[in-house]
A and B are shown apart, each in its own frame.
Chain A
Amino acid sequence: MPHRDTPTVSKISVTDLQAWFGTHQVLKGISLDIPARRVTAIIGPSGCGKSTFIRTLNRMHELIATARVTGRVTLDGEDIYGKHVDPVLLRRRVGMVFQKPNPFPTMSIRDNVLSGLKLTRTLDKATSADVCERALTRAALWDEVKDRLDAPGGSLSGGQQQRLCIARSLAVEPQVLLMDEPCSALDPIATARIEDLIHVLREQVTIVIVTHSMQQAARVSDRTAFFLMGDLIEYGTTDQIFTGPSDSRTEEYITGKFG
């Protein structure tokens, strides 16, 4: 296993990204590179724009009527806001897990996992079973649900539901997985399981995780970006941010002086 700080090629490259809701500017010119197959944590107090930031990476931000974005975001060198980019196809490459587990209430566990794939093709039985087992195994949920794949997704516990949502995203084989405070609705044990999962997944996909918990950022991430009021204050390796931040505001935030 390479050392955590070993730089890899940039997966996502963000240049002077600005975002608005109506006239309210939420992001004020963010530039940063997100390394491939590493975990990048976004931390900062509520309202600092961290959720908005990751929602610009899969073009979910623009689903809100008054939302607007300028600047440049590239995925593997290709501008995702380019004229010929279909946001629907982009989102199949950049998956997302939300704050609250949101399995589809009308679908079984199996159908939840396969829901993204069924959009693009009809699956035969054998392929469905393979994909379903693989995605659930990757999400560390297979052993708990393999005997009840036809049970409704909503019948699982909160932590299991969140892992089901991760499995659902992984089934589409995204290259990037965005996680928007994925543990904020979970108890400590379920949180620990998700964090273990992130450790395993970082070998395969690029992960960007927004978190309220600095301990979580320290535990799971290779790099950390600190946002404040729509500005990127500091970005570096997680070790560096937590042990020797160069900006006083970063230090004040991580030592709990505000936020």
Chain B
Amino acid sequence: MQATRRWERRAERLFVGLCLAAILLPLATLVWLVADVVIDALPRLGPDFLTSFPSRRASSAGVFPALVGSVYLIGLTALFAVPLGVGAAVYLEEYGGRGRFSRLVELNIANLAGVPSIIYGLLGLAVFVRTLGLGRSLLAGALTLALLILPVIITATREALRTVPGLLREGSYALGATRWQTIRHVVLPMAAPGIMTGSILAISRAIGETAPLIVIGALTYMAFLPEGPLEPFTALPIQIFNWVSRPQAGFTTAAAAGIVVLLTTLLILNGLAVFLRNRLQRRIHV
């Protein structure tokens, strides 16, 4: 008895230790990486790095157009992807039924979520840049990224819609609400925090995407800001990619500083979204 008990306790401690290691190991690696980048970036980090245009001289090269381009790009991407994704999910979940068409669409969405992003870039190049004649513009980039994250948003929204209890829908129908009124006033407000979470994750992914933007022809050197959605653009990951591939040591520092800016942007956007989501969540009292 006593011996078994002791063995059990030891096994438990071992398990907890393994789980803890599973957290600490990746976390430590991440901290190391971030610290390394920040240290590399220190000489170049400063307000003027944010407000300067790229330059041939590493010491004065800045991230301004890339930062502005990324913010525009993400804003536009969210503008297209979130309403489309939520709309598609509402249709599939609430109206589509369980027919063959619905299952076919479902299968395709699941597949699309796994397609490499460079393929989306090629698609964007063919459809948006060439066929629709949008050129190598912000709009073409945003539409490409929107396409890329659409499956993620659709899947997350459907999950969120599925968690809304049937009893609440019935309560709404019993009051004489139509299906749309039920979705609008009961289902969507309940699912909103979940939809937000999914959209945040999807948009965060889009911020870091490089490959599709290179394929559709984002600029690597910009001495001006895009003045409209049809203007050429660059984005943070493109700028970083460009600097990393330069031989001069100064550009390595600039790239590190660019990474810090990208991570900070990501953190701010995510923080904002989490804040909004929590406010939505607080409105729900079950």
Residues of chain A at the chain B interface (Cβ within 8 Å)? 58, 60, 63, 65, 88-92, 95-96, 98, 100, 102-106, 115-116, 118-120, 152-155, 165, 168-169, 172
- A98-B285 in contact given A65-B97, A106-B190, A116-B177 (Cβ < 8 Å): no
Q: A92 contacts B176, CB within 8 Å? A: yes
**Does B168 lie within 8 Å of A58, measured CB to CB?**
no
**Chain B: interface size category:** 20 to 34
A125–B62 CA distance with the chains assembled, in angstroms:
55
Q: Which residues of chain B have C-beta atoms less than 8 A from A120's C-beta?
A: 176
17 A-B pairs within 8 Å (CB atoms) are namely: A88-B176, A88-B177, A88-B178, A89-B176, A91-B173, A91-B175, A98-B170, A98-B174, A102-B171, A104-B172, A105-B284, A105-B286, A106-B189, A116-B175, A154-B285, A154-B286, A169-B174
**Chain B: minimal CB distance from A80 (Å):** 13
Pick from A92, A106, A152, A165: contact of B171, CB below 8 A.
A165
Interface pair A116/B176, CB less than 8 Å apart: yes
Q: In the assembled complex, which residues on chain B have CB atoms less than 8 Å from the CB atom of A106?
A: 186, 189-190, 283-284
Interface residues of B (CB under 8 A from A): 97-98, 165, 167-168, 170-178, 181, 185-186, 189-190, 283-286
Given A104-B172, A172-B175, 19 other A-B contacts at CB below 8 A? A60-B173, A63-B173, A88-B177, A88-B178, A91-B176, A95-B175, A102-B167, A102-B171, A103-B171, A105-B284, A106-B190, A106-B284, A116-B175, A119-B177, A153-B285, A165-B171, A168-B171, A169-B175, A172-B176
Q: Which residues on the B side are within 8 Å of A154 (C-beta)?
A: 284-286
Separation of A65 and B94 alpha carbons in the complex (Å):
12
A98-B167 in contact (CB<8A): yes
When the two chains form the complex, which single residue of A102, A119, A165 contacts B176, counting CB atoms closer than 8 Å?
A119
Contacts of B284 in A (CB 8 A): 105-106, 154
Contacts of A168 in B (CB 8 A): 171, 175
The reply to whether B167 and A60 contact each other, CB–CB distance below 8 Å, is: no
Q: Name the CB-closest residue of A to B186.
A: A104
**Closest Cβ neighbor of A112 among chain B residues:** B171
Centre residue among B170, B175, B181, B189 by max chain A CB count within 10 A: B175
